[in-house]
Structure formats: C-alpha cells, structure tokens
Amino acid sequence: MPELDIVYFLAELLAILLSAKLFGELAERLGQPAVLGELIGGVVLGTGVFTFFHLNDPALALMSEVGVILLLFETGINSDLGRLLKAGPTASAVAAVGVVVPFTLGWGLMTALGRGGMEAVFVGAALTATSVGITARVLSDMGKLHLPEAQIVLGAAVIDDVLGIVILSAVQGIAVSGSLQWTGVARTIALSAGFLAAALWLGPHLSNALVKVVHRMRVRGVLVGAAVCFAFAMALAAHALGTAMIVGAFTAGILLARTDKKEDIDETIRPVVDVFAPVFFVMVGAKVDLDFFNPFDAGNRASLALAALLIVAAVAGKVVSALAVRGRGLNRWAVGVGMIPRGEVGLIFAQIGFTAGLLDPALYAAVVAMVIVTTFVAPPLLKKSLA
C-alpha cells in the first residue's frame, strides 16, 4: 500500500467506522456494551474481509492513539475530582493489590512450570497491566462514571498506568543489560509523582485562564479547539516527564471539569470522541489472530493450555484486588471486574521480552492470548456487575 495514500486511508477509515457502529449497535441490542461490538468488528476486519484494510497502516495507528487520549480526556471531564481524591486511598490500595498479586501469580506459575528467571519476570509484568480505556468506555456508555465504584476503578487504573510505566522501565533495563537498574526506576517514579503533583497544583490556574481566553474569542469552534489543545498539551507534558500520555489527558479533563464550562466542553467533545475512540477499539480487535485459537492445530495446543492458565491467573489477580475496598454498600465485584482488561501495555511487555529473546514464540503467543481474552470478557462482566 502506498504510504499516506488518501484513497486507501479513507477506505480503511470508512470500513472501521461502519463496522464499529454496526457491530456496536448489534451489541447494544443484545444487551452488551457497544465497545464489545467494536472489538468484534475489528476481529472481522482483521480476517481480511476487505483487501484494502491494512492492519499496520501507520496513519490508523496514530489515529487510534489519539482516540484513546481523547477518550480518557472525556472520562476526566465526567469525573469528580473531590470524589476521586476521596477514593484515593482505596484506589491506591486496589492498584497495589492489582499489581502485586498478578505479578506474583504470573511469576509463580512460570516457576512452577519450570520456566523461571527472566521468562517468569516478563510474564508477571505483563499480567500487572490494566486497560483504563476499556473500563472507562463501558462506565461512560452506562452513565455510571459518577458512582463511587467507578471513581475507585478509574483512580486505581490511572495509578496502575503510572506503576505500569515504572515496571516497564524496570523490565526494559533487564532486557537491555540483564540486570535491574534501580536508578532508572527511581527516576521514573520521581518524575511521574512530580507531574501529578504539579498538574493538581498549577492545573486549576491554567484551566481557568484558558476558559477566560475562550470567553473573549468569537471564532467558530474555539471551545472544543481549546479543550483539545489543553488535553494534548497535558498529554505531551506527561510524556516528557516520563509517565503515560493518557494520564496527562485524564488529568486535563479533571481540571476542566472544575470550570464553569464543564457542560459545554462535554457536549462539544463527545462527537469528536465518537469518531476517534472507535478506531482504537477496532484496531485492538483487528490484531486478534484467530488461527491461534484453533485447537485442532497440534502446534497450538501447548500454547493454548499455557494461555488458559495465564488467563485464570490474570482474572483472579485483578478480581482479588476488590478485597482492598473498604466501606459499606460498595460493589466490590464491580471494582474487581473493572480491573480485569489488559491492553497495549501488556502487549508491550511481551513484545520487549520477545524482541530481547527472553520469551519463545509459544510463550509470547500465550501472553497475547491472555491480553485478548481479558479485554473481551471484561465489558460484559462489568455491565452485568453494575446492572
């Protein structure tokens, strides 16, 4: 495919948006979250039903990244900072359990199978990830972002992303040098904490100043343009300081939610998110290799058995994090289920280990299958738990 060919790109984008909306509608009619339909629509596209659809198109990859950034920005706008801070201690406890337990289970499982050492470390690290994008989308579609359980899950997922960057820094050091570089880990922790502290301290002044400027301007679309620019600026600042861009975008949404333009920004940003976010979920689904799940292929059976064990460990490791929730009347099951879906971070861990030669192809395929299955089962389970 010619690079940056507008004809191919528009055809691919047309296929993505149509499959997202059609399968999303079907999922809604079957009582499931629309995001599940979008993931399935991606699986269909990934089978090669359209010859012009190219999974590795860099333009689509960039658009999907923008989609998840905008999704977390919208989630932040619909989150209450007061409730989020109130849920902070509980969210931190949930995040800590949701990292330590999956890592221990993954490491212990690999060690028990006689595959300890670096393999066990990388598999354990891959199990620690949480995809805040999947959970945020389900909660948003259900109109449940205001619930205390939702604030706990979102807070814990964001903390998980920060911890994920720290763990990623550690495993990258192991992959490159063969040993853990504590100075790099400490630097990542300090920069991530510094960004969040600075954002919550300086952010309100910046967001209020932005709103005052918007009040004086008359150009069409100035509000949504300024809001998106603020989200991108915060995302870039987060990346520059060594933490995840989605953490910066989520923080930007939280800060703008405390201004008098919250409702207007929310109303104008939704159509933008409705175009970009489905691209992310469809592309995640399109990366599913259905041939791997064929049990009649003798070469797949060992990997499928290992994948099944990893899936059990991945689900159990996150569900048990709900035990850290304290308080009467809280739906602990919903909190645990909301932490289940893995995402791109889990795949990144596996990719680093595979590229460094620390994971063989069968183990890499099993980890990828774990990420896929946890991503697909979480939306219906979360909807059922909050029904």
Q: What pLDDT digit, counting tens, does each position of 228-247 carry?
A: 999 999 999 888 877 778 77
Best CA proximity match to 227, nearest among 266, 260, 200 = 266
pLDDT band (50, 70, 90) for residue 2: very low
Q: Could you give the CA distance from residue 274 to residue 195 in angstroms, rounded to a whole number? A: 29
Q: Could you give the CA distance from residue 197 to residue 187 in angstroms, rounded to a whole number? A: 15
Calculate mean pLDDT across residues 294-314. 83
pLDDT above 50 for 4: yes
User: Would you say residue 215 lies in a domain?
Assistant: yes
Nearest 5°: the CA angle 21, 375, 132 is 90
Tokens 């595979």: give the residue: 354
83 C-beta neighbours (distance < 10 Å), count: 18
Residue 45: C-alpha distances to residues 14, 177, 276, 379 (Å): 12, 39, 17, 20
User: Would you say residue 77 lies in a domain?
Assistant: yes
Residue 272's pLDDT is 92
User: Would you say residue 283 lies in a domain?
Assistant: no
Residue 315's pLDDT is 93
User: Would you say residue 286 lies in a domain?
Assistant: no
Q: What is the CATH number of the domain that holds 114?
A: 1.20.1530.20
Looking at per-residue pLDDT, the higher value among 210 and 236 belongs to: 236
pLDDT above 50 for 1: no
pLDDT band (50, 70, 90) for residue 184: low
Residue 325's pLDDT is 84
Tokens 């910046």: give the residue: 206
User: Would you say residue 6 lies in a domain?
Assistant: no
Q: What residue numbers bound the domain in which 269 lies? A: 65-275+298-386
User: Would you say residue 228 lies in a domain?
Assistant: yes
Query: DSSP secondary structure string, 217-249?
Result: --STTHHHHHHHHHHHHHHHHHHHTTS-HHHHH
User: Would you say residue 282 lies in a domain?
Assistant: no
Q: pTM of the entire structure?
A: 0.74
User: Would you say residue 284 lies in a domain?
Assistant: no
Domain total in the chain: 1
Residue 169's pLDDT is 64
